[in-house]
Amino acid sequence: MVNCEQVWHDISNYIDGEVDAGLRSAMDEHFRTCPRCSSVLAGMRNVIGLYGDERMIEVPAGYGRRLERRLAQNARPASDQWSTWTAWLVPVAALLVFAGGLRVANSMTTEPALKSEHAQTGQGIPPDMLVVVSADARIFHVPGCDFIHNKDRERTLTAKEAMQQGYVPCLRCLRQYMQTASAGHVTLESEADVDQDTDFEETQRRGK
């Protein structure tokens, strides 16, 4: 059996289906016999239903129109979207070399072949891509990467910001970008021995 205080403590989790079967049935039983708690439960469900209603969202007059206009301005054909990317490839490569995981196979002074159809379908880390960094590591990751250390203290920023702050790409979750983006320019030595994450995050794990 559970008492009223215990019910209040878990009533929100109960609604969200976040209590185990044992507690759930004890709470069900309690609600059947306790008018106060069943009133709280009904009231809480009412709150969730009302506030979850689309009608509760009020936007300023003309908001949608202004947004549409701003997006339309942005959608105008921009010829040199990729030139920022090109300028950005050199520091990427430099950092990768610095991290010790990669060997530069070809000279980076030649213009990368970014105008190819292949590159334009989305390979390479876009500067605006959102990535995460965590508290104690110098690596940036795709959100949700399994190799993010210390997930509780993640921070989201753009790839470009991460680079500027000295973070280097995770070779596990960002490998696809690194390999394809730099096709013909930077070669990974091998799958097995170049994970520079190891230098940082594995060491920390071992140190625990």
Partner 1 sequence: MPEPNIFVNNPLVKNTEQAGLTREQDLIARVQRGQKELFYELVQPYERRVYAAALAILRNESDAEDVAQEAMLKAFANMRQFRAEARFSTWLIQITVNEALMRRRRGRTVVMEAIDDRRGEESDYAPRDFADWREIPSEALERKEVRQKLAEALATLDRKYREVFVLRDMEQLNIQETAEALGISVASVKTRLLRARLMLRDLLAAGWEQGWFSRLPFEKGNKPW
Q: With respect to partner 1, which residue has the nearer C-beta, 103 or 115?
A: 115
Which listed option, Zn ion, partner 1, none, makes contact with residue 67 (CB within 5 to 8 Å by class)? partner 1
What are the residues facing 186 on neighbouring strands? 104
Phi, psi of 128, deg, nearest 5:
-85, -5
Q: With respect to partner 1, which residue has the nearer C-beta, 69 or 205?
A: 69
- Alpha carbons 152 and 186: distance in angstroms, whole number: 34
Q: Which two tokens stand for residue 2?
A: 């559970």
Residue 60 Cβ vs partner 1, minimum distance, rounded to whole Å: 6
Q: With respect to Zn ion, which residue has the nearer C-beta, 19 or 145?
A: 145
In the complex, the residues that contact Zn ion under the rule CB under 5 A are 4, 34, 37, 141, 145, 147, 170, 172-173
Q: Which two tokens stand for residue 187?
A: 């070669």
Which listed option, Zn ion, partner 1, none, makes contact with residue 44 (CB within 5 to 8 Å by class)? partner 1
Q: With respect to partner 1, which residue has the nearer C-beta, 127 or 199?
A: 127
In the complex, the residues that contact partner 1 under the rule CB under 8 A are 5, 8-9, 11-13, 15-16, 18, 36, 39-40, 42-44, 46-60, 63-64, 66-68, 70-72, 74-75, 122, 126, 128-130, 142-143, 152-156
